[in-house]
Amino acid sequence: MSQVTPTAALPFRLYVAVGDSVSIDEYPGTEVSAAYVPGLGAASLLARNDDVRYPECTGRDLTGATFMNLAMDGATTSHMKEMQLPEVPTFAEPSLVTITIGGNDLLGSLHFDDRAAQRALVDAEKRLCHVLAELSRKQPRASVFVSTVYDPTDGTGLLPVGGSTIDVRHLLPRLHHWNERVAAAVTAAGRRFRLVDVHSFFLGHGREAIWSEDFWYWPPSIIEPGCRGAHELRSLWWAEAVQAAREFCPTSAVRARERSALAPPDNIDLSQKLAAQPALTLTSETRETQAASPEGIR
């Protein structure tokens, strides 16, 4: 098969995805077939496009960059800080980090009163800020994309769960407050940190979607991204990555990457770290507990 030159090869030598299930393969990969199909999550598609399923995105990926997906199903800011951040390698060359986090912190406040929820989200924001500061230290040339949390209820606050509907309207002000605080944290973190407004991008593609092709979530549980949602999210990230490369990488570096777009990166030895990397998943006990609760997992 002939090689296809990427549309705009980017100079990132390492791509690390951290956060929750918005970045993993499990839900998109179980929507398209009775058998699990790997590589269809947003982070995986950004790293390596599925050229058969998405030929229009051929070359619009980070082929040539080492890819580490540290995201976890059900992850909160605590998981990100304590379990994922230590696995992020120190790296001096241009890199990309995507973060999807906060949805499970919000769902965890489902049964909290407003005062308790406020305290919990303040703590979550502190953990996020700590992670951003550590990423800046570990990877000073990284472009870091921090995504806002989407709203699968499309502003209604009515969440379909297992054939019934849960009223989560009291979570909507918390969701908006969280996204505002994320925006403030990203601004404070510096120029290499970019806010990705996933919340606005996904509005209208959840509960209120009129046509099936406009529905971007996972049908069995619409707090999760579906195959279409993962594809759309990686497209949003790709556009941001192109802008980040233009802003922070010299033109000569971009051109050099275009000439060797399909060549593996030189002098990067993360294979041992990847091989030794533990499976970052929640315990079966935690999964069972979450499955029994209306908020589920993200």
Instruction: Decide which of 294 and 57 is more confident.
Output: 57
Confidence of residue 248 (pLDDT cuts 50, 70, 90): confident
The answer to the question of residue 5 being in a domain is: no
pLDDT band at 250 (very low <50, low <70, confident <90, very high): low
pLDDT of residue 257: 47
Residue 34 pLDDT: 81
Instruction: Tell me whether residue 4 is in a domain.
Output: no
Q: Which of 69, 56, 60 is nearest to 22 (CA)?
A: 69
How many structural domains compose the chain? 1
Q: What pTM did the predictor assign?
A: 0.84
Q: What pLDDT, on the 0 to 100 scale, is given for residue 295?
A: 36
Q: How much is the average pLDDT of 92-103? A: 98
8 in any annotated domain: no
CATH number for the domain harbouring residue 34: 3.40.50.1110
Q: Which of 8, 49, 14 is nearest to 246 (CA)?
A: 8
The answer to whether residue 297 is domain-embedded is no
Mean pLDDT of 208-223: 95
Average the pLDDT over each of 22-36, 53-67, 277-291 and give the range with the smallest value: 277-291
- The answer to whether residue 2 is domain-embedded is no
Residue 9 resides in a domain: no
pLDDT at residue 291 is higher than 60 = no
**Within a domain: 257:** yes
Rounded distance between C-alpha atoms, residue 227 and residue 93, angstroms: 32
Give per-residue pLDDT as tens, 122-149: 999 999 999 999 999 999 999 999 999 9
Q: Say if residue 256's pLDDT is above 50.
A: no
What integer best gives the mean pLDDT of the chain? 86
pLDDT (0 to 100) of residue 251: 57
Q: Which helix (H) or strand (E) holds 22?
A: none
d(CA 231, CA 31): 13
With respect to residue 21, please indicate whether it lies within any of the assigned structural domains: yes
Residue 270: φ, ψ to 5°: -105, 5
Q: Which domain, by its residues, includes 146? A: 14-291
How many CB atoms within 10 Å of residue 248? 15
Q: Is the pLDDT of residue 277 over 50?
A: no
